[in-house]
Amino acid sequence: MGKYQVADIKFQFDYLFDEYFKNNIEAYQIDDFETVNHHIKVLLNNEIKRPAGAFKGTKNPYFLTTKTYRTIIFENNNQIGVLIQHDLDYKEITIILNNKLSNNLAQAEYVMSGIMFLELAMYRGYLPLHASAISLHNEAILFSAPSKTGKSTHAAYWNEKFPEVVYINDDKPLLNIENNELYVYGSPFSGEHTLNKNMKSKLKNIVLLNQGTTNKVEKVRSDEAINHLIKNTLNPKLDSSWDKVIPIINYIHSNIPIVSLDATNDTQAVTALYHYLFNDK
């Protein structure tokens, strides 16, 4: 609990549980005298009443957006398990957890605060990509794949073969353009294993992983690459956030090599991809 900085985003974060943040978020902590622009606050309540208004959506979550704020509710057995409210510039974000409806409040806090931080990051112009990001030779590589396909496992094989590999973020790294270069940034919201580092690294390649048997590496067609990027990007609820990240997607399309790997479940996949990306560097 304190003030933190991820990339150039400074925010106060009042969380409740240490389980996912201890030995993790401290690397991003800044001094209390620093000025922050955003505040994420988590609260517990024994009962959450449904706010007035016509919520949109046919299944969880349900949304209500006015001219000044947005409210999100997650229901469980016709009761509200989580209520989130924020103003439209994400200066004040409040997350209320129903103390009676979650078997793991620490996990619920981590997931919900992570979702809202990523929405805030998009509002600030960062693209969160569903991928495992590592840094090697001071360059970032992103492994992107559907959940449970093996991107974290493949990243672990890189760390096994090259101990100098650094995990930037094992779940949703942030991407942004600086001085006409694309960089990858770590954050403390990085999946169940909380593998991340407070750093940035210039992006070298994006690798689309497929479970396979050949370890064949191929370039990906540009239309396929864009479709994959959009599918694996957090879907922002505010049009203004899309407007801010579209230039990053366009930059990737024009400047970042995207390849696919038919990966075996061993370090041979690392060897094949390393030779392709680094030409035996």
Question: Is the pTM higher than 0.85?
Answer: yes
Regarding whether 148 and 270 lie in a shared domain, the answer is yes
Regarding whether 59 and 43 lie in a shared domain, the answer is yes
Domain count, the chain: 2
In this structure, what DSSP letter does residue 28 have?
G
Regarding whether 269 and 146 lie in a shared domain, the answer is yes
Residue 160 belongs to domain with CATH number = 3.90.228.20
Q: Which two tokens stand for residue 251?
A: 């930059």
Regarding whether 255 and 144 lie in a shared domain, the answer is yes
- Which domain-ending residue is among 124, 143, 162? 124
Could you tell me the residue range of the domain that residue 191 belongs to? 128-278
Regarding whether 142 and 48 lie in a shared domain, the answer is no
Regarding whether 252 and 148 lie in a shared domain, the answer is yes
Low-confidence ranges of the chain (pLDDT < 70): 280-281
- Which domain-ending residue is among 106, 124, 142? 124
Q: Determine how many CB atoms are found less than 10 A away from the CB of residue 183.
A: 20
For residue 173, the one-letter residue type is P
Bond into 61 cis (ω within 30): yes
Contact, 128 vs 173, CB < 8 A? yes
Regarding whether 248 and 181 lie in a shared domain, the answer is yes
Contact, 60 vs 33, CB < 8 A? no
- Which domain-ending residue is among 124, 152, 181? 124
Geometric angle at alpha carbon 104, from 103 and 110, rounded to 5°:
145
Regarding whether 248 and 211 lie in a shared domain, the answer is yes
Contact, 148 vs 192, CB < 8 A? no
Q: With 0-12 CB in 10 A as exposed, 13-18 as middle and 19+ as buried, what is 280? A: exposed
* Cα–Cα separations (whole angstroms), residue 114 to 5, 101, 138, 226, 246: 14, 19, 27, 25, 21
How far apart (Å, rounded) are the C-alpha atoms in residues 112 and 107? Answer: 9
Regarding whether 109 and 132 lie in a shared domain, the answer is no
Handedness of CA 43, 49, 50, 52 (dihedral sign): negative
Regarding whether 105 and 143 lie in a shared domain, the answer is no
Regarding whether 16 and 54 lie in a shared domain, the answer is yes
| 21 φψ region: left (φ > 0), alpha (ψ -120 to 50), beta (else) | alpha
Which residue spans within 117-158 are E strands per DSSP?
127-128, 132-136, 139-144
Regarding whether 137 and 118 lie in a shared domain, the answer is no
